Structure 1
């Protein structure tokens, strides 16, 4: 990825942000907006901001809101044009373009997340399917689509992820002993999370373990150190290459097999299955297939430990067909499920019984804060890898947006235990 070079003017009082029009075509150019659309957007945005506990300061104009964290709109015309054309996709692209900023973006985004259900007037929400962008057909999570979707995120660069993850290279929520969390406590907190999952799944000496979603191999390493025989599946070539290096360096390659394989292609029978924050990449269309795979691969009496990000069921239903900024720039094809969707899918399509569920969303907010702060501290190193300023703003927004979701309670994270106690069903 080459550093951006294209000019992009924002507010005259600010330095312009260079945006590469080839790499970022929808950020480099402000979409055209008619006078009527721009006026309608300004009215809707103004109405929403006036009722929120924020201070939205528009260059050359008003300050709206009830008071609170500052949102600075440097280029109001571009800001409104993007939101009018693309809704929340445009809101994110406007941040990437430098048209708005905030001294504390998490605080601003937390307020927006807390009021997500009523930011858009009810009549427009009822017409969501008419105005909201739709998912591209080529991002469906078919076997080929999943490979492409996973690669677009996880194959960006192992070096990039290593810059902001801790030494365990674990890219999922940690479990801390107390708050506030600190960077030096993160590796132990990640091991605590992994050990809880392995304990839930009953993983020990001789366990045949299937892991769906390898990451960079830390869970497989920890399971193998207990004496388990691990088969781990991933669709990321970059992750697999580094995970194999780590397995060999630990002298555990006789106990760990890491396969470039879709979960639907898994074979064999296992005593336990563990899958950490993988279901979010499956897509609602394929949730039954995913859970049937867990069931089919699990031996009678076996256990499944699942870690999943979740959102409220009504919000999931309202947004499941909407193409979002996160889909476009971070996780194509993904959908965060609700606890109800997970439990209904498992009940209706498998012989798996829900035994336990534990929520720990506050821990994810702290995990994301540590990643975001580390990413910010190492911005120069990110740039040295060839990632331009637009990408760095994208990634900052993604981490802040995600953290805000957990701080607002809009998002949560769960650890599930499913058991297969009735093989005759």
Structure 2
């Protein structure tokens, strides 16, 4: 039986029970310390543990400090990557540059654990709870936990467009995205316009948008003269989208519905969906792509934007319950490019075009994170405590690290009849 003790930081035990308490698992903690020190010894990092320096980095390597080694290794030993995240929420470790540290880990995620021990992974890693399955009721609960936190919270770090997906920036002199905060609204609208162009949206187009967000894509499609039907299962998003559309004088061209994608009927010339498939779940990908097939009129076009990950990593982690599932996106699974193409191929649709924007997402996340950190006082005033703010910092930094390392990508797809 595991003995639990209270963590040495002031954490609300009701709101954050697994952050407030440290599991006493001495054998697992010792094993975690051995594996961690073995792994970081080969990494371009400088890791301070008990006053000693670990890692294979030079003076410019990012710095990670294990502030409370006993608590850190007990959490990691008991919970793996979930414990690693909870240790950051509790303040058990720090980083001078959190994204840089996490980028090192993300770039070597498949080799951190020795191959012999990786074969034991299914025995040690928790599986996704059935409660997070994306049934109609489950999907609503899952979405509510993230997107209905507070529109005001999202407004602290998103730009005026309230778009919560990767922007597409202009190309800079070095060939990479030229990103700055002032140009973010334009970059978000550029992304939307590229998707609308892929779907050939113009005057009179019957457009279905799956996943309204806060309404920017519907607004731009309506400004082109399209007849827009947009659906969401987030009440907070729906309410703000309706208000924004009415303020723009476009309510006669846009219908916003609180509706699950499985319950939509009709026929549409174009369907657009931006970073919604990640919340569908592998179990329901056939249903999702079957819906696209069923609702698309002959000769129509589908434009999707999706985060993707390498196929082997998707297969390895598809049943795994992670820190992201526990605290950020319950029930989600990022597909691989292969998985998207395979799911589409089971219908009459095929991928006719695909474009990658991974580094653009890294820059988008950097801008969001910097804005979120600058407005920490506003976030606190909304009722989100320091554990939440550290959780959100870790989420934004880990996501950015995924795109910077190439572990994650984001793609725009055009689907058409075969």
User: TM-score scaled by structure 2?
Assistant: 0.96
Give 1:413's match in structure 2, choosing from 393, 410, 418. 410
Separation of aligned partners in 1, 2:78 and 2:7: 19
Separation of aligned partners in 2, 1:223 and 1:302: 16
Q: Secondary structure at the match of 1:381?
A: helix
Give 1:80's match in structure 2, choosing from 65, 73, 77. 73
Q: Secondary structure at the match of 1:56?
A: strand
Separation of aligned partners in 2, 1:266 and 1:232: 10
What per-residue deviation string (whole Å, max 9, x for no partner) do you get for residues 62-110 of structure 1?
2110111000000001110011001001000000000001010000000
Map 1:255-404 → 2, pairs under 5 A: 255-348=253-346, 350-404=347-401
Separation of aligned partners in 1, 2:117 and 2:266: 49
Q: Secondary structure at the match of 1:30?
A: strand
> Any stretches of 5+ residues in structure 1 without a counterpart?
1-6, 10-16
Separation of aligned partners in 2, 1:191 and 1:180: 15
The question of whether the paired residues in 1 share the 8 Å contact of 2:162 and 2:214 is answered with yes
**Alpha carbon RMSD of aligned pairs, Å?**
0.9
Q: Show the counterpart of 1:48.
A: 39
Give 1:134's match in structure 2, choosing from 121, 127, 131. 127
Q: State the Cα distance separating 1:41 from its structure 2 match.
A: 1.2
Separation of aligned partners in 1, 2:279 and 2:179: 27
The question of whether the paired residues in 2 share the 8 Å contact of 1:273 and 1:305 is answered with yes
Q: Show the counterpart of 2:15.
A: 23
Q: Show the counterpart of 1:149.
A: 142
Give 2:198's match in structure 1, choosing from 175, 197, 200. 200
Map 1:69-218 → 2, pairs under 5 A: 69-178=62-171, 179-218=177-216
User: TM-score scaled by structure 1?
Assistant: 0.94
Separation of aligned partners in 1, 2:376 and 2:397: 15
The question of whether the paired residues in 2 share the 8 Å contact of 1:41 and 1:84 is answered with yes
The question of whether the paired residues in 2 share the 8 Å contact of 1:134 and 1:321 is answered with yes
Give 1:65's match in structure 2, choosing from 24, 48, 55. 55
Q: Show the counterpart of 1:12.
A: none
Q: Show the counterpart of 1:3.
A: none
Q: State the Cα distance separating 1:266 from its structure 2 match.
A: 0.7
How many equivalent residue pairs?
Answer: 405
Q: State the Cα distance separating 1:122 from its structure 2 match.
A: 1.1
Separation of aligned partners in 2, 1:142 and 1:78: 37
The question of whether the paired residues in 1 share the 8 Å contact of 2:7 and 2:71 is answered with no
Q: Secondary structure at the match of 1:174?
A: coil
Q: State the Cα distance separating 1:180 from its structure 2 match.
A: 4.1
Separation of aligned partners in 2, 1:327 and 1:411: 17
Q: State the Cα distance separating 1:139 from its structure 2 match.
A: 0.4
What per-residue deviation string (whole Å, max 9, x for no partner) do you get for residues 332-389 of structure 1?
00000000000011102x1012110000100000000000000000000000000000
Q: Show the counterpart of 1:226.
A: 224
The question of whether the paired residues in 1 share the 8 Å contact of 2:7 and 2:19 is answered with no
The question of whether the paired residues in 2 share the 8 Å contact of 1:298 and 1:420 is answered with no
Separation of aligned partners in 1, 2:120 and 2:340: 27
Q: State the Cα distance separating 1:32 from its structure 2 match.
A: 1.6
> Any stretches of 5+ residues in structure 2 without a counterpart?
1-5, 172-176
